[in-house]
Amino acid sequence: MNDKKQPFLNNVVVITGASTGIGRELALQLAAQGAWLSLAARNAENLDNVAKQCLQRGGKALVMPTDVSDQSQCENLIESTLEEYGRIDTLVNNAGVGSSARFDQLTDIPIFEKVIQVNFYGCVYCTYYALPYLKETRGRLVGISSLAGKIARPKSSSYSASKHAMVGFFDALRIELSKNGVSVTVICPGWVTTGISSRAIGADGKPLGKVFDIEERAMPVETCSRMIVQAMAKRKREVVMTLQGKVGLWLKLFAPGVVDRVAEKN
């Protein structure tokens, strides 16, 4: 199927959240390496455009409109991928939604639940249905978490909670799967230029519609995705992408109050 020099040649890769941002760029970079892709997201039109670009780069692409917060749709995504390609080698749990509101300002608790449902349970559902097949291929399981999954971000309680849950979920799976040959890689980016802040859910449950200044100055999505592909290829355990994030994790151990004050200021 592949070798160390071409780890993703003919590798069957399922990517959730593939219509925009990191998921889209991962699809394009993996297609250039000859991957056989199953692209999942809610926006079918955007997925079609991504698939066309993947084909132009030398990969294969199956378009699977999917809402990962719906368990049955996640099951259909995995089963349809199997019907198309006959196996699953890699699952990239990337689909996610941001949040930007103080918890005490939310107008209704389902706004909080929606973020958890997409970011966390979307991973749980897809992983549950894909795992038997990943065991067969001794494949790769990847979770795109966030630095917010390590250091909580104010005005993002639901997002931080969902990303912390992702880290714990995949850390536990890594131990459980240690003898099955399935690698588990958790990615923790900081801010990346994906437009996620404009789609973040506000206190009223509606998208904000504006990109934050901090995102405009952030890591380019191409750079972030390239680092993810490299980590996947090497089956790394975890990647914290920024120096600031690594320093923050160190400080959190010895001076957590400092980390809190920096987070509040930023």
Dmax over CA atoms of the chain, in Å, equals 52
Helix (H, G, I), strand (E, B) or coil at 193: coil
**Using CA of residue 233, residue 167, residue 15, residue 189, what is the dihedral sign?**
negative
Q: How would you classify the pairing of strands 183-188 and 36-41?
A: unpaired
The residues, ordered by sequence, that sit 6+ positions from 199 with a Cβ below 8 Å of its Cβ are 97, 98, 207, 208
Question: Could you say which of 121, 129, 133, 159 is catalytic?
Answer: 159
Tokens at 161, concatenated = 């909670």
**How far, CA to CA in Å, does 40 sit from each of 19, 51, 119, 123, 143?**
7, 11, 14, 13, 15
Amino acid at the residue 260: D
Q: Judge whether 129 counts as a catalytic residue.
A: no
Strand partners, 143: 93, 186
Q: Where are the beta strands (DSSP E) in the chain?
A: 12-16, 36-41, 60-65, 90-93, 140-144, 183-188, 238-240
Residue appearing with tokens 């955007």: 46
Cα–Cα distance, 11 to 34 (Å, whole number): 8
DSSP symbol at 149: G
CB atoms within 10 A of CB 82: 16
- As annotated, the active-site residues are 159
